Structure 1
Amino acid sequence: MSLTGTYDDANIFAKILRGEAPCVKVYEDDHVLSFMDIFPQSSGHFLVLPKAKSRNLLELDDAALQETMVRVKRLAAAARKAFNPDGIVVTQFNGAPAGQTVFHTHFHIIPRWEGEALGRHGGGQADMDVLKDQAAKIAAAL
């Protein structure tokens, strides 16, 4: 899928944003929704989505990007406080060749620990109770 195209209101993140599909919510306000990645690459891996419709970063308007990035930073700091990782990856993909699989702009926040390999994205599905516990820890650290 190319970097340009029409936004698909049927994508899974659009459905989650409308409340038509479930998620393990970490945080929500007028600008973003954050929830746990159900196929985590590391313990505590979660996503931050702008509520503004855009397929990728290059299509997101500047005001929505600014609001989103302030929250990405705040949520990454909460993950650091909640899990005390050795590092945190903040990543974002634009287009299928770059690794994007859901075409609604989103940012991954992935806690990392020395000596622990990063899991494969889309690997095994996480236990929902574990994700709920992790979400609560992040939310409490905000």
Structure 2
Amino acid sequence: MPIDPTLAYDDDNIFAKILRGEIPSTRVYEDEWAYAFEDINPQAEVHTLVIPKGRYVSWDDFSARAEAKEIAGFVRAVGKVARDKGLVETGYRMMANIGAHGGQEVAHLHVHLFGGEPLGPMIARR
């Protein structure tokens, strides 16, 4: 169910629990700013999630409240994961859903990296 991005951060969201080690995940990258892991319901050959370690509901929340070093660290982590996965050479899609209309389902900022195959149009036409 899509979420309201103006909600306060919920420390019991699934990604917060993953960061605390309460829910298992397949880690592919971690540093002081970000944690990346494989999606449990992949929508492409490669489908990796990258989340900041800070308490941010959405991209909007992150861009408004995060310190410059957090933003730089997170963006660099996303790029490193894409390079480490070999996605740069053939291309990939990076997506962050924000709010109900954007289809955001977890109230913790997360970036999806999709690749490993042709992905088709960005948004299916109605």
Please report the TM-score for the alignment, with normalisation by the length of structure 2: 0.82
Answer yes or no: is the 8 Å Cα contact 1:85–1:112 preserved in 2: no
Segments of structure 1 that go 5 or more residues without pairing to the other structure are 119-142
Post-superposition Cα deviations, 1:61-115, rounded to whole Å, max 9, x if no partner, equal 142222100111111111126xx8732111111112201111100111111423x
Residue 106 of structure 2 corresponds to residue 96 of structure 1: no
The count of corresponding residues between Structure 1 and Structure 2 is: 115
DSSP-derived class of the 1:66 partner: helix
1:7 aligns with 2:13: no
Q: Distance in 1 between matches of 2:34 and 2:73?
A: 8
Residues 5, 107 of structure 2: 8 Å contact kept: no
Q: Describe the superposition over 1:32-73 as per-residue Cα deviations: whole angstroms up to 9, x where unpaired.
A: 110000011111210110001010011111422221001111
Mark the CA change 1:96 to 1:112 in structure 2 (over 3 Å): closer, same or farther.
farther
- For the aligned residue pairs, the C-alpha RMSD in angstroms reads 1.9
Partner in structure 2 of residue 77 of structure 1: 83
Normalising by the residue count of structure 1, what TM-score does the alignment of the two structures yield? 0.73
- Matched to 2:77, the amino acid is R
Does 2:32 correspond to 1:30? yes
Aligned position for 2:117: 113
CA distance in 2, matches of 1:65, 1:57: 10
Counterpart of 1:4, as a letter, is T
Structure 1: 4+ residue segments shifted above 3 A: none
Q: Letter of the 2:37 partner, please give it.
A: F
